Each structure stands twice: as structure tokens, then as C-alpha cells.
Amino acid sequence: MCGRYVHPDSAAIERAWHVGRASGDPFERRYNVLPTTPVPILRAAPGSGALELVMARWGFIPHWWKEARAPQSTINARSEEAAAKPMWRDAYRRARCLIPAEGWYEWREMERIDRATGEVKRYKQPYFMRRADGAPFCFAGLMAARRAPEAEAAALSCAILTRAAAGRVGEVHDRMPVVLPAAAHAEWVDPALTDAARVAAIVAGAATDFRYAPVSTAINGRGAEGPRLIEPIALPHP
């Protein structure tokens, strides 16, 4: 799964993917992206099909959703189920996007000894996952445009596709985001691609070569921000 991640600032995204923003102000790099907050996504612009940068709520709300309250647990979509599940299947075939990132966090349960009592205590140690070269990349995303009752315009939302962990990431967690190689980006966002089998084939070619390092538990705070969150730390001896 992916519950927190880092995204580049608007200028870095524009340089890396040669796109401009459809609207809105420049935004800063975020080191602690939280569910339900606005995040940058890349999509095929309606009409022209050119890649464009827009903002979307991280927490998918399908276009047909009628409830006033947003659905729960929709920041991630399991790629193995997305083609068939009602929540995801329309977007899987017709509304895919790219979600720029520099890395993501996962937690592993570990043990340490309380030196005061000698008691063994369990805790969850965060790790930051990134490319070996530190370059930005894109998660495979699903998106939806929904117009809520009394709203003036439709609002975009998104989810990150996940898969079984592969490579070194599997040493920390059994799931990971689907990270698409650059060669697959154009086809992924192409609205003309509606064949679920081909979409699955793109997912199967996802990147798996990532590095990880333990980082401070400061990332657990919802208000935490800044580059210190991704700085590697030395773990205490058990």
C-alpha cells in the first residue's frame, strides 16, 4: 500500500514531463502527502489529448457516487481487482492518470528493548522508498471527475494502483505502488485505451528497482513537513 509519499514541486514536474499547469498557482515540494489532500496529477487534456498538470483529491470518489460523505479507504486500488470492482472498473478502462512522486513511505513492525524496564516492545519503523538515482517517477493512478450536489463544477479525485511487492521493497512490506516506466506514460493516459487486458499488461511491466532506508518516526505526525523526514537514520540496537 501507499499511505504517505513525497511529491516534487510544480516547477520540477513541469521540467521532468514537459508540461504546463492547466490552472492554479505554483506549489511546493511536499514531504508528507496525506490522504484526502490535493495532489498533482498528469492526465490527457480533454480535447487536445496533450499531457497536462492538474490537482486532484487523493482519495477516489467515483463519478456515480451519491452520498454526501466520500467513500472510505480509496487512496489505493489493488491492481489485481481494479478491472472488476465497481469502485474502480470505469476508471481502470477510461480514466487513468499519472501521479508524480519522489518516493513513498512504508512501515515495518520491529522490536526494541526498553532500557529502563528490560521489556521488549514492538513499534513500527518507517522507511522511505525511492529510486537509486533519486529521480522523480510516476505512480499509476486512476481518476474520476464528480460533480457534487450544488457544486458549480466537477471535482477531480484519484487513487494509486498497488501491486504485490517485488525486489527489495518486499523486505519491508508485502505491497507497493505500481510505478510506471517513462515509456508507458503516454499509453497509460491515452483515453483511447479501453482494453482491460492491455491495461493489465502495462501494470505487469511496472518498475521494481527501488532502494529504502529507515527514517525518523517524525513522519507519523500529520503536520510534519520538510526534508528531514526523508533523511536516513541509524536504527538503535535491539
- Which amino acid, 129? M
Residue 191 lies in a domain: yes
Residue 236 lies in a domain: no
Q: What is the DSSP code string of 172-216?
A: T-SEEE-EE-GGGHHHHH-TT---HHHHHHHHHT-----EEEE--
Q: How many separate domains does the chain show?
A: 1
Residue 204 lies in a domain: yes
How far apart, in whole angstroms, are the C-alpha atoms of residue 63 and residue 145? 6
Q: How confident is the prediction along the chain (238 residues), in pLDDT tens digits per residue? A: 689 999 999 999 999 999 977 667 899 999 999 999 999 999 999 888 899 999 999 999 999 999 889 999 999 999 999 999 999 999 999 999 999 999 999 999 887 777 777 788 888 999 999 999 999 999 999 999 998 777 777 899 999 999 999 999 999 999 999 999 999 999 999 999 999 999 999 999 999 999 999 999 999 998 999 999 999 999 876 5
Residue 237 lies in a domain: no
Residue 143 lies in a domain: yes
- Which amino acid, 208? T
Residue 131 lies in a domain: yes
Residue 118 lies in a domain: yes
Name the residue range of residue 149's domain.
5-230
Q: Whole-prediction pTM value?
A: 0.94
**Which positions ≥6 away from 73 have C-beta within 8 Å?**
none
Residue 177 lies in a domain: yes
How confident is the model at residue 234, as a pLDDT? 92
Task: Please choose, from the candidates 42, 89, 22, 40, the residue with its C-alpha nearest in 3D space to the C-alpha of residue 62.
Answer: 89
Q: What is the DSSP code string of 28-62?
A: --EEEEPTTSEEEEEEEPTTT--EEEEEEEES---
Hey, what's the cell of 179? 510505478
Q: Find out whether 7 and 102 touch, Cβ atoms under 8 Å.
A: yes
Task: Please choose, from the candidates 51, 62, 92, the residue with its C-alpha nearest in 3D space to the C-alpha of residue 195.
Answer: 92
CATH number of the domain to which 108 belongs: 3.90.1680.10
Output the CA torsion sign for 32, 33, 38, 40. Answer: positive
